[in-house]
Amino acid sequence: MASDVPDKNFDIAVVIDVLRATTTISWALVNGADSIQVFSDLDLLKAKANHWDANKRVMIAERGGKKIDGFDLGNSPLTVTKKMVQGKRLFMSTTNGTKAMQRVQNVKNLFAMALTNRKAVAERIISMNEKEVLILGSGWEGSYSLEDSLAAGALASYLNENQNTEVNLVNDELNAALALWHFWKEDILGCLKTATHGKRLTNIGNYEDDFKCCAQLDYLNIVPSQYEQGVIRAS
């Protein structure tokens, strides 16, 4: 697991942003979105989106947990309904998750993972039989994130228990994430609400349903994968 991207090549990169970008991406694809193009820069997002058919696009932007004025949606998995996203390109920028995805966009195999699709992503990793996997927690503006570490530990736990070959956890961060998972795995919702970002969301609005959605372990059989730089599709 890493909060900073090491200066080396990996076979696979898994980006995690439980609250809420990778959960939203997973639900959008389940609900029929054609693709999600991720951005760190809002002006670039607008410029790219303006070249797309307005009837076939959805613009999503959030900063600090709040939807940005002038965009269609904020960063909630509950809003990317089939009616809203089916067959459309989503242009998306969030405080942390989309920025993290851009940081590793040069990795050959890039997946977006939340708790909701942990098993699906883990099974894909196992099937590929690659040697080195980078697990990147998006964190909060460059700092540690409890919920992303929880999900990283959940992924490591699944790989440990289901892969035929030995899994080596190469740094203290991932060992700590695994311990965190074993501590909280019976109360995932409680962990999300305990996390600093969970408290931040609670302070700005009623996000109870978002919390419940983001806490659903192995609920979705979807693997969001980068198929061209910055563009995610179901695979």
Query: What single string gives the DSSP state of each residue in 160-214?
Result: HHH-SS-----SHHHHHHHHHHHHHTT-HHHHHHHSHHHHHHHHHS--HHHHHHH
pLDDT band at 143 (very low <50, low <70, confident <90, very high): confident
- pLDDT tens per residue, range 192-233: 999 999 999 999 999 999 999 999 999 999 999 999 999 999
Pick the CATH number of 12-234 from 3.30.460.80, 3.50.30.40, 3.90.1560.10, 3.20.20.70: 3.90.1560.10
pLDDT band at 3 (very low <50, low <70, confident <90, very high): very low
Give the SS3 label for residue 216: coil
Q: How far is CA 122 from the centre of its chain?
A: 14
Sequence-ordered list of residues with C-beta below 8 angstroms from that of 29, at least 6 positions apart, any chain: 36, 222, 224, 232, 233, 234
Where are the domains positioned within the chain? Answer: 12-234
Give the Cα separation of 65 and 70 in Å (integer): 16
Give the SS3 label for residue 221: coil
pLDDT at res. 167: 81
